[in-house]
Structure 1
Amino acid sequence: MLLTKLEIHGFKSFADRASLVFEPGVTAIVGPNGCGKSNVSDAVRWVLGEQRARLLRGAKMEEVIFQGSSARRPVNIAEVSLHFDNSDGMLPVPYQEVVITRRLSRSGESDYLLNRTPCRLRDIEDLVSGTGLGADSGVVIEARMIDALLSDRAEERRELFEEAAGVSFYRDRRRGTERRLEETTIDLGRLDDLIAEVQTQVRSLARQRRRSERHSELATRRFMLELTLASRDIAEWREELSALESRVRELRKEGPVLEGLLRTAEQTREHAYSSRGDAERRRTEVANLANEQQQALLRLDSEIAVALERQRSANVRRDRATAERASSDALGVKLASEYVQVREGLTQASADMAVAREELNEHTAAEDAARNAVLLARNEWQAAERSSRELADRVRHLELDRERAIRERDELSERLVATEAQNIALAEALAEAGSDADAALLGVEHAAAAASLAAEALSRTRDAAAAARAQEAVARTELFRAEEVCTSLNGKVGALQGLERERVGLAPAAARLLKESNRFGEGAILGPLSDFLSSSASSAILLERYLGATIHAVLVRDRAVADEVRLWHTENNPGSLLLLPVDAQSDSTAGGGFLSALADATDPARGWVRVLLDGVVAEDSGMAFVDARGAIWLPGAAGGEGPLRRRAELAASRTELVAREMERAYASAGLERARVTLAEAEYQAGGAADAATSSQQSLRDAHEQSTEAERRRMRVDRELSEIQTVASRIASKRAQLEIASNDITAQLLELATSVSQRKGEVGDAHASLTRFEARLEEAREARTRSQVHFAQIEVRLQTAAERERRLAVEESNAARRLESLQAELSEIEQADTDLARQLAEWRVKSDNVRFTVREHEDRLKEAEARVREIDVGLLDAERSLDGARRKLLDLTESLHRGELRLKELEGKREAIRGRLEAEWRRPLEELLQGLTPLEDDAELLRGELAGIRVQLDELGQVNPLAVEEHDEEAKRLNFLSAQRDDLTSARASLLQAIREIDATARALFLASFTQVRENFRHIFMTLFGGGECDLRLEQPDNPLDSDIEIHASPRGKRTQRIHLLSSGERALVALSLLFGIFLTKPSPFCLLDEVDAPLDDQNIGRFVRMLTQFKSKTQFIVITHNPRTTTEASDAVYGVTMQEPGVSSVVSVRMRTPRAPDERDEAVTSTIPEAAGATA
């Protein structure tokens, strides 16, 4: 599989579509800093599915779309495509060419396409899996990866190895499994605590269930009694309700008749309004017509003035056109003479140009022949020079190899001595590591004993916390019940206060008077009598029964206000109304009596209360009343609840609410104490848990110290073995270097003769080249002189032709101007005639318009008189409408009084309904439907009901949901027990999954690490031409968490740590390792982004040789600034430039066959015209 093309459009600085075609081998991408070269590597990484904006050198993914420049607007879509040749079938799709495309828009829509067909990112990943391609693979090698390998952060170095081994997937799975295991362990602990709490609640609810069942039996009997009594009361009110409903229906039938009369009167008035509107519109239309004619007259006068001005202007234009026509005739004669002279000069220049062209062709041919001779001579000299230089390079390389072999032999001798010293030091370190491991085992035993004691303390504190939690639950239940009672009382108080605010039950006339009290002045209407009276609930019944409708009497400030109210009452007739002037009440304090003692009156009603109640005594529990005169008052049946009883009930409810609030506060305090106790117990449990955790951590630390000590002992043992192996390898290597040094000396002697012979050949070829170059220079000078002469004649010919063309244009312009002036004079004569005719017409039209204006003014006066006549009829219609409205208002008042009484009875019925439905939470009809009425006397039933209420009070508050809660909590307990079993099983499964993931990841990592290690050694030897390198795990027994150490010793150096190498050597070591990782998981191509930047010329040569060695197996795309990488290793070169600021463009250059170094600059320069035409 080969990468054939990369297409970029709208990605970062590539605003226009750019295509880069790739063939097997090495392709270089060059360009100045900031031109957008690295955007190519970002594009490759992005199209392969990279989701991290940070790795694309951005903060968010939208930044990859071209952001615009000083001369261009931003684009809306970024698109990158990779084309692959799939002839070998490496990708599992039936296509010879596969195109992978990624597209992103500014709206956030992202698309992936496979051969222009939409697909998912997962489809792309599945397609390229196993090929070495992918966003996380090593297909792109950047300079930052070198920094990651050479940094002191072990996790960055491990990340590259794990990506090559494919361990990242297993690490993520293990991390997720460990997180689930931790959550499962926490959930298991919480579940144990929850099960203990639920068991306590189940036992408590069992006791509450028995009390609730007894309460339910009594409540059922109370329900039967209350429902029977309520059904009897509702039946008594049914007849009166029926009569009231009939009266209300009659009044409602009369209402539409009166409304019809009212609508007729309104229609009459609307018709009058409509007629007045028509007359008004007619008057407006006439006024508008008159105004329009006046405006038209003004416009005609203005147009006449403008026409006179145009006539004067036309005379001026006629005079100017006549003068211009005379001057144009003279110019035409002059141009004709100049045109004849120019034609003669043009003929002579054409003849001279033909002679000059023949002379130039002869000199050009001579120059081409001389150039060909120079090229042949130069090729012969370059061939001889190249052969001589190759022999010299070979001699120099052999001398360097001999010196290097001697130097390395001496260094190996020194290293052998140092290795023997390291062997002795490691033996001593091995003994010390053994004693440290024994001490760590003893620390593990002590930590295990401390952890056991902490676990026992944790169990005791958890039991205490469970007991405190049960006490807190009981206190919370008591507070809940108290809050329910307070909520109920608050609702009742709020409802009674709402009735008081709305004065429900007040006589309609009194209510209306209070509503319109502002018309009588501030403080004139003081309020109803009931507002100034208060008493207990039992006394309120007697007062309301005696006073009757008098309770709705309204207190006024004085008799003057009373007289004003009488006038208002006569006008509005709102119904019966009793007024009590404050200045008319008696000042006597004598009297007294039973009822006056029961009433608590306040100013200014105290005098009237004495007048009404002094001396009145109630008999037979309010069935009769005797006043001070001895008169006996027998009231009718007790009505509904009045304002005094409502106010008394409100006061009683507020008192009870205060008591219940105190009970709730006491329950809240008890709950707070229980919570404090629970918090202390949980704090102690938390402390014990922290101690247990600390002891467990100490135990783990002791285990880790023991493991670390054992690991250190094993590492020292391994290093001892390795140093012995190194010593034997050094001795063998020293013998090999001795043999190589002798072979190189023999080769140098053989090459000395060939070098002197090649130098003579180079001198002869260079002398021949000098002669041919002199001849070429003479031919070039002759050709240059001919070109100058030809160019001068060509300029003269062009000048004559331009003069001829300009004269023709001037002559044509003069003719057209003469025709234009003649046409203008004719047009002026015609316009003058038309203007005179138009002036006559406008003067006639002006007279006609003046006559029309006078007619419209007369019609306007007639329309205004019609409007005044219609206004008189409109006033009569308004009077009729007021009479109809008063009749409808009287009917509405009668209907309102009937509806008030109807609502009063319905309110009583609804009060019973609301109380029963609120208590039993079912509709009243449904309650009565299933009722079997009790046949006993009502008094007996009321007595039995009172007894049941006493029993319920003695039973106290019960949990009405105890049965359901007990069943629910029992089910919950069973469910939680099953959940605990499931969590225990899940915890065991997660532990087994972690062990399996570790085993798989360990095997993959070790296999990949071994392969990377071998590749690293091979590539290191290739780049450095010798030396030693190795990769080591600091903790071989734990490879997944072990740090990776890089050891490298270039040829001739004893340095092992890469931090002690030069920057170029460190970069070359990192490249060796990166290529080793890449070869472990190879891909069809590899993109190198400025990885050769730190390398000097010598190391660049090694880098180029490595590319040359591997390019037969892998395509390489190299982004570089180095000219040697571009010229020596590349088969093709792409140049990235910014000819337009902020916009990258691509220029392609195919490298020619190898050439001599002295010719390199000229060859590259000569290809620039070709490159400009090959822009992708």
Structure 2
Amino acid sequence: MYISELTMHGFKSFAKKDVVHFGEGITAIVGPNGCGKTNIVDAIRWVLGEQKYSILRSGKMEDIIFNGAKNVKPLSVCEVSLTVHNNKGKLPLEYNDIEIGRRLYRSGESEYFMNRTPCRLKDIHELFIDTGMGSDAYSVIELKMIEQILSETGDDRRRMFEEASGINKYKMQKRSTLKKFESTRSDLHRVNDLILEVEAKVKSLSLQLKRFERHSKLLDDLKTKEIELAFIQTHAYKSDLHPLNTRIAELNHLRDSNQTEESEVEKKLISFQSVFKSQQDELERYRKQLNDYNNSRESLQSDIIIWKEQSRSAQASLDRLLLEEKKNNQKSKQLNNHLVDYRKSINSLKPKIDSCLNQFKQKQIEFNSKDDQLKNIISDLDIMQDKRWELQKKLSDKKSMYDTAGVIINEKRNNTLELNNKVSEKRIELDSILKDLRKYQLKKKATLKKIDKNKINLNINSDELNKLEKEKYNIDVNKNKTLSSLDALDSKNAFYEELVNAAEGYPKGVRDVLSNKNIFKDILGTVGDVLNVDQSISSSIEIALGDYAKCIVVKNKKDAINILEIARNRNSGRIMIIPLDSLPSVKYVNKSIKSNKNIIGRAVDLVKVSPKYKSLLDFLLGNIIIVKDMKVAMSDKNLKGYDVIDQDGALLIKGMIIDRSSSKKSLGLIGRKKKLSSIKEKIKTENLLFHKLDKQLIKVCEAITNKEKYVKKYQVDLMGLSKDLMGVNDLLDGLEMQKSTLSESIAGSDAIISQNQKDVKSQTILKKSLKIEILKDDRGLEKYLKKIMKTNSELSKIQSTRDNLHQHLQDARINHLNLEGQRENIIFQESTAKDSIQEFISRKSEIIREIKDIKESEKNLKRLISVAEKKLTDINSVVSKQESVLSLKQEATNDSYVIIEEMQAQIRSEQKNRESLMEELKNCELKVADLDQRVNFVSERIFDSYSVKIPNEMIVDQTENELNIGIERIEKSIENIGPINMVVKVEHEEENERLLMLTEQRDDLIKAEKNLLDTIQEIDKVAREKFQNTFDDIGKNFEKLFTMFFEGGRGSLRLEGDPDPLEANIGIHAQPPGKRNQSLRQLSAGEKALTAIALLFSIYQVKPSPYCILDEVDAPLDDVNIRKFTRVLNSFSNDTQFIVVTHNKLTMESANYLYGVTMEKKGVSQLVSAKLD
């Protein structure tokens, strides 16, 4: 797979469409600085999805669009397309050729294409992920990136390793999974909070539901009483309506009789108003005629004034034109005299101009001859100078080579002596390093044993810590549940305390007695308080008791009478009292009952009381049987003679069934205090449980704290041991590197000594041959210098003569131009005078025509003024006549107006009488409307409140006042209940369903959280293995390639810092032969370049990139290292396509294809290609 074609249009300096055809192997791109070579590299990066404009060497992304040049307009869009030949099938598409395109507009809009079909940037990234072809992959290396690759931070270096190991897709999966995990954990916390909130809400709604049911019963009673009250009120309103309707009929009769008399007067008034209207119209017509005559008179007066003014203006214009004609005749005579003088001056200048022109032509011929002679000598001198400089350059190069040969001989001899001394020192140092290696290898084994032991202890304590944290979580959950239960019980406790304290459900008198026990000291309680009933049958017992449940229990009649007297004095209200000593004996039905599934039991057996209340229990419930189903009980002959009640509230008494289930809801009067006591006992139990859980939590937290200390201790110990092991490994690596370096250095030094001896011999021979050539070239250079001096002398003489001739030529040209200028000026003045004379002649004829027109106009104006003055006299007489007629008509109209005013006064008087009658009628009608409105208001209020109409007939036992008191009591009871949620039943059902749904969601989220954690661990495991294996392979390759590039030395890779390979830093250790540098910063630019290239090709050996772009990375390398570099390029070119931007001739020689970038037009790049065999 390789890049087969790159098309650029409008990208940076490539204004026109340029196509680069790449082949397999090595392609070199060459050209001078600033011509646009690197723009090709930027185009490849950009089309592959590069988003950072700084990497593209731009201030903003729109700067990559061609911005124009001299005589070339800027473009509004740029486009680059890249064709990849997928012959090896590395890309997951079924095409052999895949074209990737990108287009950018100046508006900032960007488009991406794949095989000319619009796509997303994400699609392009996913296509090239882990192929080594992405915009940020290791396939593009610039010279400036060498420092970044070898920097101490190593972020760019790590990206290269991650791309090579193919873990980018795993990192993307992990990031995506972590986002889902965080989202799931957040959702889980939110759902747990919601569950606690909804549980509390459901319990609260249950209490509200009971209040709602009680509120509904009170509303039904209120509805009945309000309808009865409305019936009484509407009946009273209708009784008041009859006398009012009778009076309205009488008033209507009086209004009709008065209206007849008034209509006759109105008819006369209408007749007079008609006459008055015709008089007014005639009067208006005369006024209009008079206005028309006045307007005509004013118009004629205005026209006469205007025409007289125009006549005076015409006379003034006539005087002005006669004066202008006289002045023009005088100016014309003066100009004719000037024309004669101009012609004489032109004739006198002609011979002078001809003479000057002949002198100029003669001097021009002499100057041209001498100038040609000068040019020939200069040309000969340039040829001699070129030959002299060429010979002098050769001589200088040979002298430089001669001096260099001498320096090399001295350096090689000194270097050989120095190397012999160093080799002996290195052999001693090598023996010392071997001893240290054996010592640190033993230390490494001991440290590894300690690390294994520490890991076992850490795992044991970590497992125990996890168990304690799970136990803490369970205790927290139980505490929250207990706390929620306490909140619910507190709400119930407050509710029942309010019921007991307020005696809710009891009559007003009973409530007064119960709330003032210090006054009513002899009471034992209510019937509901002394009976102890199971919750399952409490409603049935309460219905069976009826109003007895609200009775107060006392010991004897005396206590009862005392209580009644005190209550009467306090106006407490109605009270029912049962004295225990006055209870009649109860006759039990002497009949055994056969037990069956329907019978629950005898009421007296199911209700528990204190022995002193046994007679009360027998009196109230002596012969009552509680059953499950009344229908079954009615067919049971064993129950004959008993009163029966079922669980739904149906009561069978002496053969009659009373269904109290719909009208007599249980008020909870039975067992209130017992229920309150039970709730308080539960609160106490839950508090004890809460304190117990709190103590357990404190104990577990202490255990967790202690266990965390142990885990932290083992982690610190493990980190310390790992650090010790890393230090030992570093020392061993350093010693191994030193050992290898010394061995290689000794062998390299021997080779260099041998090479130095050969170089000294060859340089001595070269020095002798150069000395002979230098003497020969010196003699040739002296000859050329003599010829040049002679030619320069001749050139100076001819130059002086030629300059004098040129000065004379310029003087002659100036004299000739001055004379020509004088003649042209006189000719221009002559032409101007002729034009002025012609203008005066034309203006004279115009003046004559204008005088004639003005005289004709003045004659017409005088005629118009005479006619207008005559018309004005006639109009004045007509106006006087019209004014007298108008005055008579005005008097007749005024008389009619007086008569009409008198008749209208009579009508107004009659209307006033009628209005008083109408006022009374209106008041009666308003009273009727008010009563109707009251009836409607009451009817509408009842209909709006209860959606029923007030019946026409109804029997009401109570008075209006009694009904109002009853309604007031019911409303007060409703008010005591407080605000009621009218949709509590629906909300209770909805919240219950929501609670179930949230519980299911929580279970699903817990499962999802576990699955995501397993996925992340699996991704980490696979990515870690792939990265570690790739890193090991690259490290081995780097050691070999580093030694090959530097012909010795030591290079290695290692993971530093974090023990996790995916998080650890990648360190590079590089020591060229003979150097002991401790940092990559101490390397020269060439050594850094070779180290980075060695690392790059080490990666290619593990995972070859389809292509590699090297932008001037060979710039710091000398010729020897360039040859090594090109050998490596050729060896890798079978698997990788290389595109090299270079200035080096040796790199160009190794290329299969050569592209030249030129800039014939400033700012516009062009391509020239060549295939090299």
Q: Same fold (TM over 0.5)?
A: yes
Corresponding residue to 1:1086 among 1109, 1127, 1147: 1109
Q: Which residue pairs with 1:212 in the alignment?
A: 212
Q: For 2:1060, what is the secondary structure of its paired residue? A: coil
**Aligned residue type for 1:1117:** V
Q: Which residue pairs with 1:582 in the alignment?
A: none
Q: For 1:1029, what is the secondary structure of its paired residue? A: strand
Shift in Å, 1:973? 1.6
**Aligned residue type for 2:1141:** I
Corresponding residue to 2:839 among 817, 827, 835: 827
Distance in 1 of aligned mates of 2:700 and 2:472: 9
Answer whether contact 1:370 1:779 (CA < 8 A) is retained: no
Give matches, 1:1052-1067, under 5 Å: 1052-1059=1074-1081
Give matches, 1:643-722, under 5 Å: 701=712, 704-705=715-716, 708-709=719-720, 711-712=722-723, 715=726, 718-719=729-730, 722=733
Shift in Å, 1:1042? 0.8
Larger Rg: 2
Corresponding residue to 1:766 among 777, 782, 805: 777
Answer whether contact 1:297 1:849 (CA < 8 A) is retained: yes
Corresponding residue to 2:432 among 410, 417, 430: 417
Q: Which residue pairs with 1:1044 in the alignment?
A: 1066
Q: Deviations over 1:174-233 (max 9, x none)?
A: 234224323323432443343244334334434543553564466467668767987998
Q: Which residue pairs with 1:747 in the alignment?
A: 758
Give matches, 1:829-978, under 5 Å: 829-838=841-850, 841-842=853-854, 845=857, 927=947, 936-937=954-955, 946=967, 957-978=979-1000
Distance in 2 of aligned mates of 1:63 and 1:986: 48
**Aligned residue type for 2:765:** S
> Against the structure 1 CA distance between its residues 993 and 93, is the aligned structure 2 distance closer, same or farther, given a 3 Å change threshold?
closer
Q: Deviations over 1:1109-1165 (max 9, x none)?
A: 5776522336x9x9999999998887999x9xxxx946889999xxxxxxxxxxxxx
Asked if 1:733 is matched to 2:734, the reply is: no
Give matches, 1:313-462, under 5 Å: 318=332, 321-322=335-336, 325-326=339-340, 328-334=342-348, 336-341=350-355, 344-345=358-359, 348=362, 406=420, 409=423, 410-411=425-426, 413-414=428-429, 417-418=432-433, 420-421=435-436, 424=439, 427-428=442-443, 431=446, 435=450, 438=453, 456=471, 459-460=474-475
Q: For 1:1030, what is the secondary structure of its paired residue? A: strand
> Against the structure 1 CA distance between its residues 166 and 447, is the aligned structure 2 distance closer, same or farther, given a 3 Å change threshold?
closer
Asked if 1:993 is matched to 2:1015, the reply is: yes
Q: Deviations over 1:603-624 (max 9, x none)?
A: xxxxxxxxxxxxxxxxxxxxxx
Q: Which residue pairs with 2:184 in the alignment?
A: 184
What TM-score comes out, normalization by structure 2 length? 0.58
Greater displacement, 1040-1049 / 936-945 = 936-945
Shift in Å, 1:336? 3.4
Q: Deviations over 1:537-573 (max 9, x none)?
A: xxxxxxxxxxxxxxxxxxxxxxxxxxxxxxxxxxxxx
Q: Deviations over 1:987-1010 (max 9, x none)?
A: 122112212322343345335534
> Against the structure 1 CA distance between its residues 1110 and 1070, is the aligned structure 2 distance closer, same or farther, given a 3 Å change threshold?
closer
Q: Which segments of 5 or more consecutive residues in structure 2 lack a partner in the other structure?
A: 260-265, 271-276, 495-686
Answer whether contact 2:162 2:1027 (CA < 8 A) is retained: yes
Distance in 2 of aligned mates of 1:8 and 1:430: 64
Distance in 2 of aligned mates of 1:195 and 1:995: 30
> Against the structure 1 CA distance between its residues 807 and 755, is the aligned structure 2 distance closer, same or farther, given a 3 Å change threshold?
same
Q: Deviations over 1:34-69 (max 9, x none)?
A: x99999977775555333456567887568789999
Answer whether contact 2:15 2:1164 (CA < 8 A) is retained: no
Distance in 2 of aligned mates of 1:905 and 1:769: 146
Greater displacement, 284-293 / 412-421 = 284-293
Shift in Å, 1:688? 11
Answer whether contact 1:228 1:934 (CA < 8 A) is retained: no
Asked if 1:27 is matched to 2:42, the reply is: no
Answer whether contact 1:58 1:64 (CA < 8 A) is retained: yes
Distance in 1 of aligned mates of 2:300 and 2:706: 108
Answer whether contact 2:125 2:134 (CA < 8 A) is retained: yes
**Aligned Cα root-mean-square deviation (Å):** 7.2
Distance in 2 of aligned mates of 1:291 and 1:56: 88
Answer whether contact 2:1049 2:1071 (CA < 8 A) is retained: yes
Answer whether contact 2:1053 2:1066 (CA < 8 A) is retained: yes
**Aligned residue type for 2:104:** R
Distance in 2 of aligned mates of 1:820 and 1:93: 90
> Against the structure 1 CA distance between its residues 47 and 813, is the aligned structure 2 distance closer, same or farther, given a 3 Å change threshold?
farther
Distance in 2 of aligned mates of 1:908 and 1:696: 84
Q: Deviations over 1:350-375 (max 9, x none)?
A: 76578668867976886798689779
> Against the structure 1 CA distance between its residues 735 and 100, is the aligned structure 2 distance closer, same or farther, given a 3 Å change threshold?
same
Q: Deviations over 1:826-867 (max 9, x none)?
A: 1122113313542564476578679989969989x9999999
Answer whether contact 1:373 1:772 (CA < 8 A) is retained: no
Q: Which residue pairs with 2:104 in the alignment?
A: 103
> Against the structure 1 CA distance between its residues 1018 and 449, is the aligned structure 2 distance closer, same or farther, given a 3 Å change threshold?
closer
**Aligned residue type for 1:109:** E
Shift in Å, 1:757? 4.9
Shift in Å, 1:1052? 0.9
Answer whether contact 1:1026 1:1050 (CA < 8 A) is retained: yes
Shift in Å, 1:976? 0.9
Aligned residues: 899
Distance in 2 of aligned mates of 1:402 and 1:113: 64
Answer whether contact 1:374 1:772 (CA < 8 A) is retained: no
Give matches, 1:795-806, under 5 Å: none
Shift in Å, 1:778? 7.2
Shift in Å, 1:1023? 6.0
Answer whether contact 1:161 1:1009 (CA < 8 A) is retained: yes
Distance in 2 of aligned mates of 1:1077 and 1:288: 111
Answer whether contact 2:399 2:774 (CA < 8 A) is retained: no
Distance in 2 of aligned mates of 1:114 and 1:771: 71
Distance in 1 of aligned mates of 2:492 and 2:337: 118
**Aligned residue type for 2:993:** K
Shift in Å, 1:1040? 0.4
> Against the structure 1 CA distance between its residues 689 and 6, is the aligned structure 2 distance closer, same or farther, given a 3 Å change threshold?
farther
Q: Deviations over 1:861-904 (max 9, x none)?
A: 9999999999x99x9999999x99x99xx99x999999988996
Give matches, 1:219-368, under 5 Å: 219=219, 318=332, 321-322=335-336, 325-326=339-340, 328-334=342-348, 336-341=350-355, 344-345=358-359, 348=362
Q: Which residue pairs with 2:175 in the alignment?
A: 175
**Aligned residue type for 1:424:** K
**Aligned residue type for 1:960:** M
Distance in 2 of aligned mates of 1:839 and 1:799: 61
**Aligned residue type for 1:937:** I
Shift in Å, 1:986? 1.3
Shift in Å, 1:132? 4.5
Q: For 1:30, what is the secondary structure of its paired residue? A: coil
Answer whether contact 2:102 2:110 (CA < 8 A) is retained: no
Q: Which segments of 5 or more consecutive residues in structure 1 lack a partner in the other structure?
A: 480-676, 921-926, 1153-1176
Distance in 2 of aligned mates of 1:406 and 1:970: 96
Distance in 2 of aligned mates of 1:951 and 1:363: 135
Distance in 2 of aligned mates of 1:1117 and 1:200: 74
Shift in Å, 1:1043? 1.7
Q: For 2:1051, what is the secondary structure of its paired residue? A: strand
> Against the structure 1 CA distance between its residues 941 and 221, is the aligned structure 2 distance closer, same or farther, given a 3 Å change threshold?
farther
Distance in 2 of aligned mates of 1:312 and 1:1078: 109
